[in-house]
Amino acid sequence: MKMRDYNTDHSVAFTRDEIASALSKLDPSCDRGEWIKIGMATKSAGEDLFDVWNEWSKGSEKHNQSDAASAWKSFKGGKVTVATLVYLAQLAGWKNPRREQQGAKTAPAQRVK
């Protein structure tokens, strides 16, 4: 699978699956302001991520397809970035599986007693 860089800060790249994983830690039934912020953060990672954000949004009984599409179109670049999404997800306990796996590979060897 081709990995796409979902971040303009090329020191940290997130795949589509990682973004979906981060979203999965967040409550789609959050208040509208939070939902908008999460949508803006997702869109900042990639214009083509509407389906990922919308699928996550469907987890709320408040979900409205046309409202989600309209909101997505209104999101413009700004202060809310993918870093916001990562931060919120980490507060909710998310750990990037790829980063965790890489960390395990580079962890120092344990001394056996």
Q: What is the pLDDT of residue 107?
A: 44
Whole-angstrom CA distances from 55 to 18, 29, 65, 69, 104 are: 14, 13, 10, 12, 31
> Cα separation of 75 and 1, whole Å?
28
Tens digit of each residue's pLDDT (9 = 90 or more) over 56-95 = 999 999 999 999 999 999 999 888 999 999 999 999 999 9
Gyration radius (Cα) of the chain, Å:
16
Q: Where residue 103 falls among pLDDT bands split at 50, 70, 90? A: low
Q: What is the pTM of this model?
A: 0.79
